[in-house]
Chain A
Amino acid sequence: MLATPKQLRELGILGMNRRNVSMIAAKNPRHLYPLVDDKLKTKKIAEAAGIAVPRLLAVVSQERSVKDLPRILEKYRQFVVKPSNGSGGKGILVVTHHDGDNYVKSSGDQISMESIQRHVSNTLSGLYSLGGRPDVAMIEALVQFDPIFAEYSYEGVPDIRVVVYMGFPVMAMVRLATHESDGKANLHQGAVGVGIDIATGQPLRAVQHGRPVTHHPDTRHKLSDVKIPHWDRMLKLAAACYDVTGMGYLGVDIVLDQNLGPLIIELNARPGLAIQVANGIGLLPRIKRVDGLTDVLKKPDDRAEWSMREFGML
């Protein structure tokens, strides 16, 4: 029923208290949070540093620009409207194509220009942002999700979470939406987490609700067959996020675009602990290895390669 603290220590599991005190409070400077919490800021610094992100098409920051939306959106066949300070997928409107005045959502439903304008207007007044604060609406390019994951995800889009400690990718997992998680890639809502070997990008094991599973509960595909292309590019991308944000303990969310390859979709200053369960191993030994490293590795690519050498499990 219960593990003993000793057992958890032996596995090197990072607990919530330790995460809050020694990781988040100690390694993530408070004043840098907006760089991560505000998606627009994240995107700007990432683009400036040459980190691949979904392209920013437009920003609506004032109510009076809302009436210009038809003109702005005219030239784009597909786009995503997103609150800059949103979380948990709230307020994200995905438009997959349009002709003339007809816009079609990812769900297949039609949506009128007026509805889009109302949605943006609501976003600006803070309907979807944390604490109801006024927000800005980002319009970004639709990610062309790589069909390679199609068999492993139900109704939703999988993403890859990499935890980056002091610039070193230390652990990774793929999050697969399920019927139960309502298409969302959130583990505590019932999404499947697949731990990924840092060295090779091969799946290690999979869990749902903290318990091991071998097959996707809806698509019935074997999870040990998941293949992740561009693995080293992903890790290098994740490692580079440390340099632009200065966050010592960072969660990097990556999606795979059919044409553009891995793109950073979101950064998180308070990444959760479930990644340890998905990998079947604790974070602490790897964190200690990074802390004990004497060489100075300035380049993100070098750090990613170091991690691939050090943290292989297979």
Chain B
Amino acid sequence: MSARVKVYITAAVLVLIGLGMALYKNLVLGFPMFPGNQQAVWTIEAEVNFLASNESVVASLALPSRSPKISILQEDSASSGYGFIEETSGSMRRGVWSKRNARGQQALYYRIQVYENRSIIDVDSANVPVIEYPGFDEPLETAAISLLDQIREISANNRTFTSQLLLALNAEAPGQNVIMLRRQTKSDEDLAVLVAQLLAMEGIAARVISGLRLEDGRRRQQLSYGVEVLDGDDWEYFNLETGITGFPDRFLLWQRGGQALLEVVGGRNSSVQFSIVENYRGTRELPLNANKNEGAALIDFSIYSLPLAEQNAFKSILLVPIGALVVVIMRLLIGVKTSGTFMPILIALAFIQTTLVAGVLIFLTVVGAGLVIRSFLSRLNLLLVARISAVIIVVILIMAIFSIISSKLGIERALTVTFFPMIILAWTIERMSVLWEEDGPREVFKQGAGSLLVAVIAYLCMTNSIIEHLTFNFPELLLALLGLILVLGQYTGYRLSELRRFEPMIEHFEATEKADAGDTKTTS
């Protein structure tokens, strides 16, 4: 069997396996082929502010635990100089920041990312304490008793009692008792506590709930409140204003029960504010619904089994083969000259971080400045290793100067210069300058433009959402890609550039043919 046939057979097997596995995942396991399905992911940031009084500080913030219909993607806390631990008791979680000594205005952050997940139902919440009847002062006690008497008349059970109570408290023309009771309630939280206390007076188990409505672009948001009432064996959620039952959608449960949201020891004027940002991600980027595809080995051993941070790393690694394919096509089929075989891929990866236009400008500036400086170095007759090292240092200096100047000018984008791989830049500069010395500037521009062109095309392919989706969700397609590259490696046809290069020969050939024909005519 000739080498050629072997390659074709190997390639065919690879392509078949790759496509077969991808189709199986698509048809049997229900992985979508296209990224169409997007899901909202909310990032919520809680900002704790207080004025520290120059002593040791302990700030404790209630944190959300499990919330119905919501999955937590990720959470972290960022506050420089503070220690952070998480304390759990029962179903309650608190984040505790601490510092030996702090003074002045302090800001602590807690960030959580969540998305809607209807398969999460509830939450074991039996041991959450209910609100107890506190005993009101007169004349509130009398007002409460007579309100509860009225409500009892027009209700039949815990559920209808609560609804009627909320109707009465929110009535447009409230009665005397309600006016008196509502005089005490300055916030939603106060109202929720009042409702729960009234229910406790009636002997109905109730507790206060707080959480965030998930809407995009909210800043300085406060928690919203509701009550939960025990009806038979189930806890029923009531909206405070409307009296509507049923746990709301797009609502992140923050706290259940009456504990303080924030406690600060060693500080004054403390407050919590929430901001919410919504963005969309492909469904597949979210961790798989655990029990849905259980038992499918393809998934157990897929990239989804990795932690989120590693998944993200893999996302860009899986794009490299796409860049390699672009390089192979551009070099073997088109005949574009590049400086360094795979340098364009690395440049394209940097473009992903910097965005295209900024990336191209940064690249041109750094390489251009590097070439100028390198031309001075070449007069010093340095050995290769020393020369490259010198160029690397020059590249780093250029990057630093670039960052500082652009930051002074307020061009944020230019700071992404650090995403360029400096060793690769140094080699590029070295190669280009050798090329300049040996073959002149024309060749440098040719190869420089070629490299940039390949990098831009690779970038466009790598950032294409369909390609991104396919490489990440169907990594087995890499086998098919490998097969394709094997076949391309066997391509012995002409390159597009050669159609241009050898074109003058055709002219010449036709000219001599004509001349020969003329000769024969005259002789005959």
Contact = CB atoms under 8 A, between A and B. Distances in A.
B502 A5 contact: no
Contact of B492 (A3, A18, A210): A18
A205 interface: yes
B504 A211 contact: yes
Given A8-B494, A88-B438, A3 B506 contact: yes
Interface string A1-41: 11111011001010111100110000000000000000000
A277 interface: yes
B135 interface: no
Interface in B472-506: 489-495, 498-506
Given A132-B385, A280-B512, A15 B500 contact: no
B217 interface: no
Given A88-B438, A132-B384, A7 B506 contact: yes
B438 A126 contact: no
Contacts of B498: 8, 13, 15-16
Contacts, number: 87
B499 A277 contact: no
Interface string A187-216: 011000000000000000101001110000
Interface in A72-101: 88, 90
Interface string B438-449: 111001000000
B340 to A, nearest CB: 13
Contacts of A21: 489-490, 492
Contacts of B385: 132
Contacts of B381: 122, 127
Contacts of A90: 438
Contact of B494 (A17, A22, A122, A281): A17
A75 to B, nearest CB: 29
A188 B439 contact: yes
B509 interface: yes
Contact of B332 (A13, A17, A281): A17
A289 B37 CA distance: 61
A61 interface: no
B500 A2 contact: yes
A117 interface: no
Given A17-B493, A189-B439, A11 B384 contact: no
Nearest to B512: A280
Contact of A127 (B335, B383, B504, B506): B383
B439 A2 contact: no
Contacts of A131: 384
A17 B439 contact: no
Contacts of B443: 188
B495 A15 contact: yes
A161 to B, nearest CB: 18
Given A3-B499, A8-B499, A132-B383, A276 B492 contact: no
A277 B502 contact: yes
A1 B505 contact: no
A5 B494 contact: yes
A13 B493 contact: no
B383 A15 contact: no
Given A15-B495, A22-B492, A3 B440 contact: no
Contacts of A268: none
Contacts of B335: 16
Most buried by B among A90, A126, A132: A132
A205 B508 contact: yes
Interface centre among B491, B492, B493 (most CB of A within 10 A): B492
Nearest to B491: A17
A2 B492 contact: no
B507 to A, nearest CB: 8
A13 B503 CA distance: 11
Nearest to A125: B383
Contact of A126 (B332, B384, B491, B506): B384
A15 B492 contact: yes
A126 B492 CA distance: 36
Contacts of B490: 21
Contacts of B504: 207, 210-212, 277
A261 B407 CA distance: 68
B330 to A, nearest CB: 13
Nearest to A210: B504
Nearest to A20: B492
Contacts of A282: 505
Contact of B493 (A1, A5, A7, A126): A5
Interface string B414-445: 00000000000000000000000011100100
A180 to B, nearest CB: 9
Interface string B96-121: 00000000000000000000000000
Contacts of A16: 335, 495, 498
B502 A276 contact: yes
Nearest to A119: B381
Contacts of A2: 499-500, 503
A280 B494 contact: no
Nearest to A18: B492
Interface in A101-127: 122, 125-127
Interface string A246-270: 0000000000000000000000000
A17 B492 contact: yes
Nearest to B490: A21
B250 to A, nearest CB: 58
Given A132-B385, A189-B439, A11 B494 contact: no
Interface in B358-392: 381, 383-385
8 contacts: A3-B503, A13-B505, A16-B498, A17-B491, A127-B383, A131-B384, A276-B502, A280-B508
Interface of B: 332, 335, 381, 383-385, 438-440, 443, 489-495, 498-506, 508-509, 512
The 7 A-B residue pairs with the shortest CB-CB distance in the complex, in nearest-first order: A132-B384, A18-B492, A15-B494, A3-B503, A2-B499, A3-B506, A280-B508
